[in-house]
Amino acid sequence: MDRTELLRKIKEEVVGLKESPLCQERVKNKVFPVVGEGSHTAKIMFIGEAPGKNEAETGRPFCGASGRILDELLASAEIKREDVYITNIVKDRPPFNRDPLPEEIRIYGPFLDRQIDIVQPKALATLGRFSMAYIMQNFGLDKQLAPISKLHGKVFEAQASYGPIKIIPLYHPAVAVYHGGNTENLKKDFRVLQQFI
């Protein structure tokens, strides 16, 4: 199977998922899971935490206020959105945009692991502390974990199933939405990604 087929299979599995209470919320609210979008041969994969209201209504990742900031950050680093792959750990929206629970991360994490293996990016750019912690632990970087304020914009080397990979923790774009003064710091961090294009 090619990458497109393999990713489509993940989407079907997420749509049919019954194990997570978030699926019942999805059905009740008549919204969509947000599985991921972008290039299936992307060199950079962005990993957020969970979809928000706009994302659940459209089925697209980062399409609300945070998405506009993400687009601005990508443009500032001369990276085209269509050249990257964007997803979240948790594929269904937690109620009231609360933080994802450990149990939800456990249920949805394996889908993300498979997406990484299928797309085979050179770099994983984590957006926010939950995706940073999940990815760093999964790639054996537990001992280097620290608050995101200390790790953002740094490049960590790790090994994926298909070869070497770099992990770059980044602040979630929502930081710029709620704390406007951080945009320049975010842009500086995003420039680190240019080497992977």
pLDDT in tens, 84-96: 999 999 999 999 8
Give the Cα separation of 73 and 170 in Å (integer).
11
**What phi and psi values does residue 97 have, to the nearest 5 degrees?**
55, 30
Model's pTM, two decimal places? 0.96
pLDDT in tens, 130-160: 999 999 999 999 999 999 999 999 999 999 9
Please check the confidence at residue 181 and state whether its pLDDT lies above 70.
no
Q: How many domains does the chain have?
A: 1
Within 8 A by CB and 6+ apart from 8, the residues are: none
Give the Cα separation of 44 and 110 in Å (integer).
19
Question: Which residues sit opposite 127 in a β-bridge?
Answer: 170
Kindly report the CATH number assigned to the domain that includes residue 99: 3.40.470.10
Instruction: Residue 43: name the closest of 165, 172, 187, 188 by CA.
Output: 165
Please check the confidence at residue 52 and state whether its pLDDT lies above 90.
yes
Give the residue numbers spanning the domain of 58: 3-196
